[in-house]
Amino acid sequence: MHKTLSSGHSGDDADAKAQVRKMLDGMGYFAVDLGSLAVGGRLAELPFGSLASTNFIKI
Is 0.85 surpassed by the pTM of this model?
no
Half-sphere exposure of residue 24, counting CA atoms within 13 Å on the CB side? 19
Phi/psi of residue 24, nearest 5 degrees: -65, -45
The answer to whether 11 and 37 have CB atoms below 8 angstroms apart is yes
pLDDT of the chain, 59 residues: tens digit per residue: 455 677 788 899 999 999 999 998 898 888 888 889 998 888 777 766 556 555 656 56
b vs e for 29-51, b when ≥16 Cβ sit within 10 Å of the residue's Cβ?
bbbbebbeeeebeeebeeeeeeb
3-class SS of residue 30: strand
